Amino acid sequence: NAGVMQNPRHLVRRRGQEARLRCSPMKGHSHVYWYRQLPEEGLKFMVYLQKENIIDESGMPKERFSAEFPKEGPSILRIQQVVRGDSAAYFCASSRQNTDTQYFGPGTRLTVL
Amino acid sequence: AQKITQTQPGMFVQEKEAVTLDCTYDTSDPSYGLFWYKQPSSGEMIFLIYQGSYDQQNATEGRYSLNFQKARKSANLVISASQLGDSAMYFCAMREAAGYSSASKIIFGSGTRLSIRP
């Protein structure tokens, strides 16, 4: 049973470009969560999605960031016009129910030059 | 508001010794869950152990146990017989159960970096 998959594992972008981060949840999991980890800090919740629905985006910056979890395919976290402060590790987690344990993917390390 | 506090930024422990990583939390919700995750230098987040607020017994998973003291709002992780492979960052985390969407948020502490000496 494959775990949570994230790609790419490392992503380098120049300021102003767009970053697309993908997350495929574990088999049987329909709840997806995105977290951001700045260097030497804990993870911070960004957004919680179910298939085709954003349930809670209270941790998402109001501008430039968006997330989706379409009926088919992976969940996408999209960052437009990236800035240096967006450099971080972005983790996706999934669970079967929203109250279940969340299992994390390996993360995508975004570096903005 | 929810809060998780880990007061030990770093710890050094001799191999084979037991180690306790401290975690205190704050919540007004009577129903909540507590987690510990391990993050090795490779960066992935590995789930270790879970304790529900209404669980009568302390959670155990192999060499990991959670010393849950509800009145003190503490959820310390105990690792018995430490191994070199235990060197990593350890994060304490909490989720409140009230409300459908709020149950989705896991709040993480700032972490403790554990280093095991041979």
Query: How far is the C-alpha of A106 from the C-alpha of A92, rounded, in Å?
Result: 8
* The two three-digit tokens of residue A37, written as one number: 């980890």
Question: Residues 6 or more apart from B57 whose CB is under 8 A from it?
Answer: none
Question: Residues 6 or more apart from A8 whose CB is under 8 A from it?
Answer: A21, A22, A108
- Condensed to tens digits (0 to 9), the pLDDT of residues A60-85 reads 998 999 999 998 899 999 999 999 99
Q: Given this model, what pLDDT does residue B97 score? A: 63
Residue B50 near residue B59, CB atoms below 8 Å: yes
Q: Given this model, what pLDDT does residue B115 score? A: 97
> Are residues B103 and A59, on separate chains, in Cβ contact within 8 Å?
no
Q: Given this model, what pLDDT does residue A99 score? A: 66
Query: How far is the C-alpha of A31 from the C-alpha of B104, rounded, in Å?
Result: 9
Please report which confidence band the pLDDT of residue A90 belongs to, taking 50, 70 and 90 as the band edges: very high
- Condensed to tens digits (0 to 9), the pLDDT of residues B40-77 reads 998 889 999 999 888 889 999 999 999 999 999 999 99
- Residue B35, chain A, CB below 8 Å: the answer is yes
Query: How far is the C-alpha of B32 from the C-alpha of A55, rounded, in Å?
Result: 19
Q: What are the start-end ranges of the E strands in chain B? A: 3-5, 10-14, 19-21, 24-26, 32-39, 46-52, 60-61, 64-69, 74-79, 88-96, 107-108, 112-117
Pick from B44, B100, B111: CB nearest A42: B111
Query: How far is the C-alpha of B14 from the C-alpha of B113, rounded, in Å?
Result: 14
Please report which confidence band the pLDDT of residue B104 belongs to, taking 50, 70 and 90 as the band edges: low
> Are residues A48 and B109, on separate chains, in Cβ contact within 8 Å?
no
> Are residues A56 and B47, on separate chains, in Cβ contact within 8 Å?
no
Could you give phi then psi for residue B86, rounded to 5 degrees?
Answer: -80, -10
Pick from A58, A102, A107: CB nearest B106: A102
Stretch A30-48: mean pLDDT, rounded? 91
- Is it the case that residue B20 has pLDDT exceeding 80? yes
> Are residues A55 and B100, on separate chains, in Cβ contact within 8 Å?
yes
